[in-house]
Structure 1
Amino acid sequence: MKIFVTGATGVIGRGVIAALIEKGYIVGGMTTSASKVEVLQALGATAYVGNILEKERIETILEDFQPNIIIHQITSLQHGSIEDNAKVRAIGTRHLVEAVKKMNIQRLIAQSIAWAYEPGDTIASEETSLDTNAVGKRKFTIDGIVALENAVQEIHNSVVLRYGSLYGPCTWYGSNGLMAQQFLNGEMVMNDGVTSFIHIEDAVKATLEAIEWESGIYNIVDDEPVKNSTWGKYYAEQLQALPPKYFNGKVQWERGASNQKAKEAGWCLRYPSWRKGFIMGK
């Protein structure tokens, strides 16, 4: 079985590749940077350099590797541009979907997000509508997600994984990550909105298991949606930082998500609660 991973040098991509190779799969991975080729080769993957926005290059790479499955993990977050990230999700995914159709690739698994749901006061499930009436900067994110998910679902044998807020080593919440620095600098302001987290190890585990799941959309989040004011205080304690500032109220789309469907598919979490995973260094 040959599996191709886009976003191969990202935090999920690296973990997925290492786990796939350990399980005996033949793995190819794509990076936008020639300087990261050695990273993929060290993991044991066949490395390709390419820009997912370049349709012909993507087709050439896939024709060379001839994958049975594509795991689509690419994002464009290195410069903090939500517009660039939305473009990669919309246009890049379209390129992949057209290649899947052309080459008759068996399955497509794609990364989405679990905080794209419409405003509400209850925990969201996969049946909850996405926030298609979003405005401002959030609209870029939602439009990109809608385009990605609609394209992926054109493939009969496909899975969309809506990850919660990723934490753990090498993420924004890692001890040297962006969030940690903002907490240490006293820059964070917390509210009563609800977040669903997912540890990077559990995200990788779900991605591998999704190879065998029924086609569909799955929330990949932990068991404990939590108020931002609650996790913020706990996280600050782990960092030995001052408690974050707080204001009463919430953004209505910050509602958290349910993982029931993924658990019914057989997924078990190593970190069912963010309280365990937020221990620094873990």
Structure 2
Amino acid sequence: MRILLAGSTGVIGRRLGPLLTDSGHEVVGLARSGADRVVDVLDRDAVAAAVGEIHPDVVIHQLTSLSGRDLAANAWLRREGTRNLVDAALASGVRRLIAQSISWAYEPGREPATEDTPLDVDAPEPRHTSVAGVAALEEAVRDVPEWVVLRYGTLYGPGTWYARDGALAGMVAADADVSSLLHVDDAAAAAVAALSWPSGAVNVCDDDPAPAAAWVPALRRAVGLPSPAIVEGDRRGWARGASNQRARKELGWNPRYPSWREGFATL
């Protein structure tokens, strides 16, 4: 298949492109710089022209705007950039689109969230901006005849914010908030597998949701930082983690690193 990889120079895209090529696909990368096609996804006309010329069979959307840690800019890209990409794909006859989302946009609850859990669209700011961006992305993607939304866990590993040289490795509070984590290599592998998945949203995360009070000290040890102080108190209601049982049981996807405990050992 001919695959347009939007976000080919990002932390996932750099891994995903070679995986797709090794699987026999023709890959055309699209990004703001350093790609086969240099396009700003917020430029609607430029996106339409690029997708029309490439004429892909599948579009994989791994675009983010996180280099400056500007969550509002990232939400805007998810909203407007995704709409531009989807409309260009539809105009070019693309029938399948796979898009990156997140697994911590769910509403508050007691247990790890499943794909049937509603998104937290009524959250107060600043969380509302991020969740609204995710909701807009997922709504746009559903316009394509065949679509898969990959709701990734919190990414760690080389090139991410949670790595030996990661921007946030030493900044996260060791508190009661629960996260589901995901090694970046598992994120890329899941995007390849999603080429044959049925339409729908899928939580792509490891098997081990955990409070930051457990995983943050382990991360800091793995990257050579001193142990943090443990923050007492209850977790925020939405910080509940996510269940990957649909990916495992229905789709046959298994992470190479089933727990952050094993994954951190590689850092």
Length-normalised TM-score, structure 2: 0.96
Q: Does 1:61 pair with 2:50?
A: yes
Q: Does residue 272 of structure 1 match 2:261? A: no
What is the 5 A alignment of 1:11-160? 11-33=11-33, 36-37=34-35, 47-160=36-149
Instruction: List runs of 5+ in structure 2 lacking aligned partners.
Output: none
User: 1-side partners of 2:266 and 2:90: how far apart?
Assistant: 44
Unaligned runs of 5+ in 1: 38-46
Deviation at 1:156, TM superposition (A): 2.4
Using the alignment, how far apart are the partners of 1:54 and 1:227 within structure 2?
40
Q: Counterparts in 2 of 1:224-239, with a 5 A limit?
A: 224-239=208-223
Ranges of 4+ aligned residues in structure 1 off by more than 6 Å: none
Indicate whether 1:176 and 2:169 are aligned: no
* C-alpha contact (below 8 Å) 1:188/1:245 kept by paired residues: no
**Percent identity of paired positions between Structure 1 and Structure 2:** 41
1:4 aligns to what? Answer: 4
How many Å separate the matches in 1 of 2:12 and 2:185? Answer: 8
How far apart are residue 19 of structure 1 and its match? 0.4
The counterpart of 1:201, out of the listed 168, 177, 185, is 185
1:188 to 1:127, Cα distance in 2 relative to 1, 3 A: closer
SS of 1:246's equivalent? Answer: coil
Say how many residue pairs are matched.
265
SS state of the match for residue 17, structure 1? helix
Contact 1:5–1:71 at 8 Å: present in 2 too? yes
Name 2:244's counterpart in structure 1: 259
Counterpart of 1:117 in structure 2: which amino acid?
Y
The Cα offsets for residues 238-275 of structure 1, whole Å up to 9 and x where unpaired, read as 23322212222211110000011111201121100100
What do you get for the CA RMSD once the two structures are aligned?
1.1
Instruction: Give me the whole-angstrom Cα distance separating, in 1, the residues matched to 2:182 and 2:242.
Output: 11
SS of alignment partner, residue 5 of structure 2 = strand
